[in-house]
Amino acid sequence: MITFYRVIDGGIGPQKADKSANGTLPTNGYRFCEPVRTANSFGWYVFLPMELWLLFDGSEIQWSLDQGENWYLLADAIQYPDFAARFDAAAPEEARGYSPPFLSRTNDLDIVQIWTGHFARTQEGIGSYVRSPVNLPNGLDHIVLEGVVQTEWWFGPLFANVRINKRGAPVIFRADRPFLQVQPFSNALMRDFEASEIVEHDGLEGMSAVEWQDYRATIVHRMQTRTRLGQYAAEARKRASAGGKAMEPAE
């Protein structure tokens, strides 16, 4: 479905996202909350190849790769250490001199573009929804701006635009913590969505006998029988193991 090309040495390679949100999901959530578990595990984690510190004073951004010992002004863009020469040595003549930058300033003072050191390609009909890792707390010091890249035909650096919220103190991007989560994006589903219209029924009278039957099976039955915690998770996993086939609702 997706192929990653890691062209920067070091760091952790891409991996399938984890149901426990990289070990941060509380135990009860992991055991019983299947909607959260499913959302957490949909896609692939992408890490930065080295630890990065950014410092924003409201106007200028400085960067450090040695845990704040030395700081440098990000005036325009910088390359990964020694990467430009390595790129030119490996690239065909017409691509030399065009290595992608590691960090780039944008027209917005508080937004910086960060390249993961990867390229990505997806199969036909699939794009890449690039976002911050699902349900993995990153604090309030930065926001990854989400985007959809048509990686089935657009082959370029896998990067993210990041808004820096913290002022006057370092924002730390650790190499052992997922930086991005890349999720498969169905172009066919997007086309169906764009052509669709919202269907809405006003009032309880808008619910048919089918909806009331399903409500009874999912809510009333559980309340009357005090169904054990995690029943939805058990049913969802059972359906998944059956290949998503329809099953009779609980009585």
pLDDT value at residue 168: 94
pLDDT value at residue 245: 53
- Taking CA 13 as the corner, what is the angle to CA 69 and CA 82, rounded to the nearest 5 degrees? 50
Residue type, 9: D
pLDDT value at residue 5: 96
Taking residue 20's Cβ as centre, other Cβ atoms within 10 Å add up to 18
Residues of the chain with CATH 2.70.40.10: 2-194
Please write the tens of the pLDDT for every residue from 190-235: 999 999 999 999 999 999 999 999 998 888 887 777 666 666 677 7
Please write the tens of the pLDDT for every residue from 11-20: 999 999 998 8
pLDDT value at residue 139: 80
Where does the chain have alpha helices with state H? 27-32, 34-41, 83-90, 187-195, 209-215, 221-225, 231-241
Output the DSSP codes for 11-78: SPPPEE--TTTTTTS-HHHHHH-HHHHHHHHSSEEE--SS-EEEEE-SS-EEEESSTTSS-EE-SSEE
Please write the tens of the pLDDT for every residue from 170-181: 999 999 999 999
What Å distances lie between residue 77 and 33, 98, 130, CA to CA?
Answer: 43, 13, 22
pTM listed for this prediction: 0.85
Please write the tens of the pLDDT for every residue from 32-88: 788 898 899 999 999 999 999 999 999 999 999 999 999 999 999 999 999 999 999
- The answer as to CATH 3.10.310.10 being correct for domain 2-194 is no
